[in-house]
Chains A and B, each alone.
Chain A
Amino acid sequence: MNWFKQLFSRPRLYNDLSEEIQAHLEEKIEELVASGMPRKEAAAVARREFGNLTLVQEDSRAVWQWPTVESFFADIRYAVRSLRRDLRFALIAISALALGIGASTVIFSIIYNGLLNPFPYKDANGIGIFQIHDLDQAGVGRRGAFSVQEFLDYREQNHVFEDMVETSYLRVLYTYREGAMQLTAAKVTSNTFEFLGVMPFLGRWTTTEDARAGAPPVFLMNYKFWKEQFNADPNVIGATIILNNQPTTLVGIMPPPGFNTSAPTSGYPSP
């Protein structure tokens, strides 16, 4: 008999077994009764000579089983049954586990996102900001801001970093039909988004093409601003908007969270 057939014939095997053992006991009792023993005593004798009934059945069934696998499932069934028997205990145990697991997950998420990997940027661990200072006057006179020309020189002569970006914050005046609004923006080099490794929510990022001398000025818009001022209208991409009295093309929307530049971001007109 192969194991597959055995698997399905098992209930029948077990029934045969119980019936057979029952018949065995009955036959023994009948015989003892026929020889003049009272039925009650005969039943006891039959049982005694048969041995441990439960053990015999267990051992007989075990012949057909894969003991480890099946006792594992039996243990699971037993666990489910006992949990069901005492619902209150089950609920307490489950909620204790749930709270425990939930709490550790929350704490881990906070630590991971807040301390270990706080920015959604590509290789956030390798991003650094540098400053220059005069070695003759250690401790004083450091400078973290550079002119465009300085930045370009650094970028050209850089052998340490994979890529460099520059950014500067500025206020822009946004003029529209009904009025004007002052916004905070960041000027960035055209490679910034590729550098950070994030995808735009809509539209495209800035490219080297935008940094070409004489290229039309472009900008990306903050997700929240887009939602509040433009009702999250996707058709606004490509529109020309007056920023600082200069018509600027909106090329994309930045993804919702994580970007703390809180307003339109314009591509560096040059470089």
Chain B
Amino acid sequence: MKKPEQRDLFPGALEMMILRTLKRQPLHGYALVQHIKRTSNDLLQIEEGSLYPALQRLLKEELVKAEWAVSSTNRRVRTYRLTAAGAKHLQRQVSSFERMLEGITRVLARGAS
């Protein structure tokens, strides 16, 4: 089965960013992807569509929940909200990611010196 194309991202990175963004406030898909793009200064090339398979995975694992609501711009949107399990998962993912990043950074720094 083909995986959605995730340029410049490692597996799980998008999920992590989604969870982090939702921790701040519940959002619907479009707002979510705009927020991620804006916050990352468009450094990450995210295909907007790749958000949806990731959201389905999170829904299935009950890390987020979704409900239909009416947005501030008066449209019917499906808003995603972080669950308690999602918050815990995010914490674990972020700390393991930070460890990994630290490791990679150290190796890269050593290589440069």
**A residues whose Cβ falls under 8 Å from a Cβ of B:** 1, 6, 16-17, 19-21, 23-24, 26-28, 49-53, 55-57, 59-64, 67
Contacts and interface: CB of A to CB of B under 8 A. Distances in A.
Contacts of B62: 1
B65 to A, nearest CB: 10
A16 B78 contact: yes
A56 B55 CA distance: 11
Interface in B36-70: 47-50, 52-53, 55-57, 59-60, 62, 66, 68
Given A23-B77, A49-B47, A67 B52 contact: no
A50 B30 contact: no
Given A20-B77, A60-B53, A64-B60, 14 more contacts: A17-B56, A23-B77, A26-B75, A51-B4, A51-B5, A51-B50, A53-B49, A56-B4, A56-B49, A57-B52, A59-B52, A60-B56, A62-B53, A67-B1
Contacts of A17: 52, 56
A63 B49 contact: no
A197 to B, nearest CB: 59
Contacts, number: 77
Contact of A59 (B2, B28, B68, B75): B2
The 3 A-B pairs at the shortest CB distance, nearest first, are namely: A51-B47, A56-B49, A51-B49
7 contacts: A17-B52, A23-B29, A23-B30, A28-B30, A50-B47, A51-B5, A63-B56
A142 to B, nearest CB: 77
Contacts of B35: none
Interface of B: 1-5, 28-30, 47-50, 52-53, 55-57, 59-60, 62, 66, 68, 73, 75-78
B49 A64 contact: no
A50 B49 contact: yes
Contacts of A63: 53, 56-57, 59-60
Nearest to B77: A23
B56 A23 contact: no
A148 to B, nearest CB: 82
Contacts of B68: 16
Contacts of A59: 1-4, 52-53
Nearest to B57: A63
Contacts of A26: 75
B60 A55 contact: no
A79 B48 CA distance: 35
A202 B62 CA distance: 72
Nearest to A49: B48
B49 A23 contact: no
B49 A16 contact: no
Contact of B52 (A27, A28, A49, A60): A60
Contacts of B56: 17, 60-61, 63-64
